[in-house]
Amino acid sequence: GSGTAGTGGLGGGGNASKTGSPTGGTVNTGGGGAGVSYNLGGSGGNGGSGIVIISYLGSQRGTGGTVTSSGGYTIHTFTSSSTYNA
């Protein structure tokens, strides 16, 4: 095809491709995967995985995810399938 392939949008979207090899969305952003030029056929890139963050004031009261603390808050970050237990 003619023209240039588009770049990904906000949220970690993958870049489009004119060669049939689009990029996937950025991990942990929920960004969509890129498409392919209409005349090439094939599949678009995979979407980026999502992320869940639970933050609360005070010491840790639950388990699950990667646990950190900052400024008096406890933060649970989930980048894969997991369970929060309070």
Average pLDDT per 10 consecutive residues for the chain, totaling 86 residues: 54 64 71 63 70 95 96 94 90
Q: What pLDDT, on a 0 to 100 scale, did the predictor assign at position 85?
A: 93
- What pLDDT does 1 receive? 46
**Distance (Å, rounded) from C-alpha 86 to C-alpha 83?**
10
Indicate yes or no: pTM above 0.85: no
pLDDT at 6: 57
First to last CA, the chain: 54
Task: Tell me the β-bridge partners of 57.
Answer: 73
- Residue 40 is predicted with a pLDDT of 58
What is the pLDDT, as a whole number, of residue 56? Answer: 96
Q: Would you state the pLDDT for residue 38?
A: 55
Q: How is the chain classified by DSSP, letter by letter?
A: --S-PPPP-TTTPPPPBSSS-PPPPPTTTTPPPP-B-TTT-S-PPPPPP--EEEEEESS---B-SEEEEETTEEEEEESSS---B-
